[in-house]
Amino acid sequence: MRCVIARFPFDLSKSGVVASMKGVKPEMITGESVIIGRRHYPVKQVGEVITRQDRRDFTSREVTRAMARLGFTCRSGHEAAPVRALTPLQNASALLGSPDSLET
């Protein structure tokens, strides 16, 4: 599929994007993300890898639009992050509060 990112045309395929991202460790997600395989990648990281351009040269919207057209699942930064369940010890500690809050 032909798409334009940072005013440059690219011929991208779903299998090509998967191959490009293979072995790339996902960075911490702070905004929009795309799911490639089982991993969640920041959109800007994916754009940088597949276009070989600096991530300041394109917008996350351009990459998100291209990834969605290829069939990848994209998530906005406004969606709730998965909630990590507390262990019983962490839950008990949270219920008891910190030592600073206890009166002496």
Return per-residue pLDDT of the chain as tens, 104 residues. 898 888 889 999 999 999 999 999 999 988 899 999 889 999 999 999 999 999 899 999 999 999 999 999 999 876 545 556 778 888 788 788 766 555 54
d(CA 72, CA 47): 13
The reported pTM is: 0.69
For the chain, counts of helices (H) and of strands (E): 4, 5
What residue segments make up the domains of the chain, in order of their start? Answer: 2-75
**pLDDT of res. 48:** 94
d(CA 34, CA 78): 13
- Long-range Cβ contact pairs of 39-48 (< 8 A, separation 24 or more): 40/75, 43/67, 43/74, 46/17, 46/21, 47/5
Going by C-alpha positions, the residue among 10, 2, 41 that lies closest to residue 18 is: 41
